[in-house]
Structure 1
Amino acid sequence: MKRIPIFLFFSVAVLSVSCSRFHNTANNTTAARYVVISPIYNEIIWALGAQEQVVGIDLSTTYPPDVKKVQTVGYHRALSAEGILSLHPTAVIHDNNIGPPQVVQQLQQLNIPMKTFSSKNDSFDGTKALIREVGSYFHKEVRAEELCKTLDSQREASLEKVKQYTDHPRVAVIHYGRASNVYLVVGKGGGGDGGGVSQMIELAGGQMAVENNGMQRMESPEIIAQANPDVILLTDFAYDRLGGSIDQIKALPGVAPSNAARNNRIYRIEENVLNYFGPRSGENIAKVAAIIHQK
């Protein structure tokens, strides 16, 4: 019987391990190590109770608080391949809102499975479909159904609370784009980081003051000044970046002459409450309403 050289055996073993690592079926959860780059995906995964398989998240993921215990791989549009690879992922789960392109290409060239769910959280029905899809992927179907029922019941309860308000304030929402380091005004409709904003504002009994679709840079004071909102909401990072200083917020282009500034109706709101639909959006309607209707 011929002896197999030990170095050859070792080489084959290493190659076998390497191949199995990068060619695992994406939902093989036996030894899964997921890097999840999406705030909504992560929130759903934690709500499902499947978070033990997540080894890395993006900086935009801020809820639930326990996510802070997980290693971050950077901002979702300014990722580095090295940071992701250092976590030895069996798959990267993302919502197609990632970059830069060369990093995505690098991960693909290394044959790391990339998973995106087909359902879109652009409405309550879409969110329930996404919860069920993620639940199926992580084998948490029963819990997914529970989350969908809770979402529906909390939505109905919130809409009843909204009926108590008789005013319909015009609301402007200011967001900070960390990829380009600029303040942005969220308009009515559109997708991306502010996809759920206008729907949440309207469900909460308000109106969007800025009618333009999507987000636009606050380069001209006319954007806010002409909209003249009754209320201005700043998402958490935008607000905190200015130290919560109302004077500094009023110094942003077009803010000072607005009704919101004159009446000091400028408030902070968590991005994960306002910007996208998720498992908590039913109860978040009431939270948004309580903020925009206060005087």
Structure 2
Amino acid sequence: MRAILCAGALALAAPAQANEPAGAIVSIGGAVTEIVFALGAGDRLVARDTTSVYPEAALALPDVGYMRALSPEGVLSVGPDLILADQNAGPPETVEVLKDAEVAMVQIPDVFTGEGVQAKIRTIGAAIGVEDKAEALATDVAARLEAAQAQAEARAGGAKKRVLFVLSAAGGRIMASGSGTAAAAMIELAGAENAVTGFEGYKPLTDEAVISAAPDAILMMDRGGDHDSPVDQLVALPWIAATPAGQARAVVRMDGLYLLGFGPRIPEAVADLNAALYGG
């Protein structure tokens, strides 16, 4: 028998195993893995996905691949008793195979709010049998986030900065965040406002749209490769140079998982983003 949990609905495995905590866990999703470690269960992990890069101990685990491009063979090859998977894990056909396997699978909801982080923690805690620890961690995160938001709002005052999140500037073309994304939620939590709200998700912007957005600051993930854009190159783009952010060279770069993971470090990420935007 298998067990699948999605958005709080648990179908229990065989009764004799119902109360036995899983001893071999595969964690799919950076925040999921981070929460498992924060709950003191990192020693029960037998593998993780490519996005699971924190804490450092996670890097010693076998890597089963990128969370959106998993193969069922790779995930099952490590012999898990339980698969904890971010709800965005995929592709869908792999998820269906994993659901049909003789392994318990828990899909973790990913909602870009403080309450969403608490729900992740509690869902994972229930799945691995550490509900008390999960409740304590969720309560602590909630209190720290409330304090971070209060400080962020006080520092921002009545003049919130307009922030453009740039997912990619490859080839000089700006791929930016609209509404409904982790980036948009983090900008708001940090006491600022998203400079682009006319669409949902991430889309390429025309040069005119970048200028019209008139961001006071540009926010990017700090990463290498083709999607990276050093500050000098970015602010040299004419459509960036024409914005207040470009003129002030106001570019904030933060680790992607830390910034967008919506895990237990979210209070610190909110505080750091606010400080980078407003000073302090």
Same fold (TM over 0.5): yes
C-alpha distance 253-74 of structure 1, shift in aligned 2 (>3 A): farther
User: 1:75-94 residue pairs with structure 2 within 5 A?
Assistant: 75-94=66-85
Matched position secondary structure for 2:112 = coil
C-alpha distance 218-28 of structure 1, shift in aligned 2 (>3 A): farther
Contact kept? 1:57, 1:72, Cα under 8 Å: yes
Runs of 4+ with >4 A deviation: 23-31, 239-244
Which of 54, 57, 68 is matched with 2:45 structurally? 54
Task: Give the total of aligned pairs.
Answer: 264
Deviations 1:175-199 (A, max 9, x none): 259xxxx9631112x2xxx33x223
Instruction: State which structure, 1 or 2, has the greater radius of gyration over its C-alpha atoms.
Output: 1
C-alpha distance 219-199 of structure 1, shift in aligned 2 (>3 A): closer
The Cα of 1:28 is off from its aligned counterpart by: 6.4
The Cα of 1:265 is off from its aligned counterpart by: 0.5
The Cα of 1:290 is off from its aligned counterpart by: 0.6
C-alpha distance 47-31 of structure 1, shift in aligned 2 (>3 A): closer
- What amino acid does structure 2 have at the position aligned with 1:53? R
Corresponding residue for 1:268?
A: 253
Q: Distance in 2 between matches of 1:211 and 1:108?
A: 36
C-alpha distance 35-212 of structure 1, shift in aligned 2 (>3 A): farther
Which of 151, 159, 175 is matched with 1:161 structurally? 151
Q: Distance in 2 between matches of 1:30 and 1:294?
A: 46
Corresponding residue for 1:234?
A: 220
Which of 223, 231, 243 is matched with 1:246 structurally? 231
Which of 144, 167, 184 is matched with 1:198 structurally? 184
Deviations 1:33-55 (A, max 9, x none): 22211222212111111111211
Deviations 1:207-243 (A, max 9, x none): 1101134323326323422212110011123x66566
Is there any run of 5+ residues in structure 1 with no aligned partner, and where?
1-18
TM-score normalised to the size of structure 1?
0.76
TM-score normalised to the size of structure 2?
0.80
Q: Distance in 2 between matches of 1:267 and 1:208?
A: 14
Identity between Structure 1 and Structure 2 (%) = 30
Is there any run of 5+ residues in structure 2 with no aligned partner, and where?
3-11
Contact kept? 2:222, 2:228, Cα under 8 Å: no
Corresponding residue for 1:7?
A: none
C-alpha distance 229-183 of structure 1, shift in aligned 2 (>3 A): closer
Q: Distance in 2 between matches of 1:252 and 1:34?
A: 46
Which of 259, 267, 271 is matched with 2:244 structurally? 259
User: 1:76-225 residue pairs with structure 2 within 5 A?
Assistant: 76-117=67-108, 120-162=110-152, 163-166=154-157, 167-176=159-168, 184-188=175-179, 190=180, 194-195=181-182, 197-218=183-204, 220-225=206-211
Matched position secondary structure for 1:145 = helix
